[in-house]
Amino acid sequence: MRANCKRQVTIDDGCVPVTALVIGMMDNNCFIVADGREQGAPAMVVDPAGDAEAIQKALGWFKLEAIVCTHDHNDHLVALPELAAATGAKVISSNADSRIIEKGQPGYFGDWDAVAPVHVDRKVNDGDTIKLGSLEFRVMLTPGHTKGGICLYLPGFDGKPGVVFTGDTLFRGATGRVDFEGGNANEMRASLKKLGKLPDSTIVFPGHEGLTTIGIERHRVIEAF
């Protein structure tokens, strides 16, 4: 079952343009980042939810080099097997969550969210970097929603704020749930404190719903959790 893209927009407010797709049966955010705008520019997909065909269409003339999974939940991975097979892009996840990604998962809500096993080419840990052309993203291990949840932070440059992809760790006005298997409230609290060390201007690209900033979420979520 395909879940076509419901909305697509490119955000230029941060230090790098980010294309956001609202996609899948649970209105997931899937993000595309490229180092440049020219044909063949290296690109990365963060959280391949929903429909591989729609993601490939949104990639356009960019060359997909990496697919980063912020955590191991089905709704963020539905397009992963097809997208990885079609493009040959390297699959990246945390070391902790890679076990489930490589094992595969039955659907929670039917066949539409079942995810076949996918080999994880690179298993990252806290403090590792992911390079995309001239861009260098810092991996932040942020357990709490899952044991191996990660965020990707790109510091600001050229007078523009940095960006952070937070998966289901931090949303606009909320956090990811901590009552699922692998969730832990104390770990989530520590992860939020880690995110709270980023500059207030950092733009937050979450796994669901709209964008926000670290500064906005500092008082209403990060320090209040």
Domain ranges of the chain: 7-222
| Second CATH level (architecture) for the domain 7-222 | 4-Layer Sandwich (3.60)
Taking a C-beta distance cutoff of 8 angstroms, is the pair 151, 165 a contact? yes
Paired with 67 in beta bridges are: 45, 91
Taking a C-beta distance cutoff of 8 angstroms, is the pair 118, 80 a contact? yes
pTM of this structure? 0.96
Q: What pLDDT, on the 0 to 100 scale, is given for residue 2?
A: 55
b (16+ CB within 10 A) / e for 172-193: beebbebeeebbbeebbeebbe
pLDDT in tens, the chain (225 residues): 455 789 999 999 999 999 999 998 889 999 999 999 999 999 999 999 989 999 999 999 999 999 999 999 999 999 999 999 999 999 999 999 999 999 998 877 777 788 999 999 999 999 999 999 999 999 999 999 999 999 999 999 999 999 999 999 999 999 999 999 899 999 999 999 999 999 999 999 999 999 999 999 999 999 999
